[in-house]
Amino acid sequence: MGTESPDDTFDPTRPHAARVYDYLLGGKDNFAADRAVGDQIIARLPEVQVGVQAQRAVLNRVVRYLVGEAGVRQLLDIGSGLPTSDNVHEIAQRTGPGTRVVYVDNDPVVLAHARAILSDQAATFAERGDLLDPASIVASPAVREHLDWTKPIGLLLCGIVHYVLDEENPEGLIAELIAALPPGSYVFIHHLLDTGDSAAAELQAQMLNGLGRVKFRTLEEVRRLFGDLELMPPGLVPVAEWRPDRATIPARYRLVLSMACAGVGRKA
Ligand SMILES: C[S@@+](CC[C@H](N)C(=O)[O-])C[C@H]1O[C@@H](n2cnc3c(N)ncnc32)[C@H](O)[C@@H]1O
C-alpha cells in the first residue's frame, strides 16, 4: 500500500485496516492477506485482541453516553468499519429509539456489508467517503439530508485518525469537520498512542509494515486534534479509563490497554 492514500478499489490481495481489524475481532469478513497481517501482530502481541475489544467497548460506552446522557439523536460515524456483533446504530437505537446514524468509510467492502445489513433500516444510512476530504463528506447530499444540521451531531472518529499521516494534516481535517458541526455537537476520538514504550513502537512498526500507513501519536498530539473543544470528563485518557463499566483491569492487559486513548469533546 506504500504511503498512497487508503485504497478506493477492492483488492483482496492487499491487506486493509478494516478487514485486519475484523479478523482481530473474530469476524469473517477478511481475506488471507488480512489474516497474515493479523497473525503477525498476534504473534508479537498476543493481547492485541484485548486492545481491539477495548476499542469496541469504548465506542459502545461513548454511544450510550452521547445518546443516553448528552441527548444527542444523530451520529456521524467516519471510519465505521465492518459490521460486527454490536454496531453503533444498534446501540444507538436501543439507547434512544429513532436516533439517526450515518456510517462513512472509504472501504468498498465495508460499504457493501453496511448496505446489506441496513436495507430495512430507515434511520441508518451508509455512505462512501474519505476523512482526507471532509468537505465532500459534509457536502454530500445524502449526509445533509439524513442528518439535521441545525441540531447537535455526535461525530465518531473511532480508530481512524491514526491512519491519517502528519503530512495529511489530521488537525486541519478534523477542524474542518468541527467547523461544519452545529453548536452543542460532540466529537469522539479513539487513537493509538505513542507511549514511548518499546511495545507500542513495535506494534506501530508491525502495523506500518502490514498496512502501509499508521501514526501513533502522543497524548498531547491527540489532545490537539480536538482543537478548542471542551473535553468531557474524564478527559482524554487511556481507553479503559473512559467512563468504564468495570472498575478493574487485569494486570496482564494493562500494557496493551495503555496503547490507545479516548476522549469526547463538546463544541460550545
Ligand atoms: C480499525 S477500523 C475501526 C472501525 C470502527 N470505527 C471501530 O472502531 O470499531 C478503521 C476504519 O477506518 C476506515 N478508514 C481508514 N482510513 C479512512 C479514511 N481516510 N476515510 C474513511 N475511512 C477510513 C477503514 O476502512 C476502517 O473501516
On average, the pLDDT of the chain sits at 93
pLDDT at site 4: 36
DSSP states along the chain: -TTSPPP-S--TTS--HHHHHHHHTT-S---HHHHHHHHHHHHH-TTHHHHHHHHHHHHHHHHHIIIIIS---EEEEET--S--SS-HHHHHHHHSTT-EEEEEES-HHHHHHHHHHTTT-TTEEEEE--TT-HHHHHH-HHHHHHS-TTS--EEEEES-GGGS-GGG-HHHHHHHHHHHSPTT-EEEEEEEB--S-HHHHHHHHHHHHHHS----B-HHHHHHHTTTPEEPTT-SEEGGGSS-SSS---GGGHHHHTTEEEEEEE--
| pLDDT(10) > 60 | yes
- 52-89 per-position pLDDT tens digit: 999 999 999 999 999 999 999 999 999 999 988 899 99
Give the type of residue at 205. A
Question: What percent of the chain has a predicted confidence (pLDDT) above 70?
Answer: 97
Distance 138 CA to ligand 1 centre (A): 17
Report in angstroms the alpha-carbon separations of 237 from 35, 153, 258. Answer: 30, 22, 9
Ligand 1 atom showing the smallest separation from residue 131 Cα: 20
Nearest CA to ligand 1 atom 7: 158
pLDDT at site 6: 46
pLDDT at site 84: 87
Ligand 1 atom showing the smallest separation from residue 132 Cα: 19
- 24-33 per-position pLDDT tens digit: 999 999 999 9
pLDDT at site 8: 56
Least confident interval from 2-11, 55-64, 98-107, 189-198: 2-11
Helices 32-44/198-211 angle, 10° precision: 170
Ligand 1 atom showing the smallest separation from residue 190 Cα: 8
For ligand 1, is residue 110 a contact (CB within 6 Å)?
Answer: yes
> How many residues are given for the chain?
268
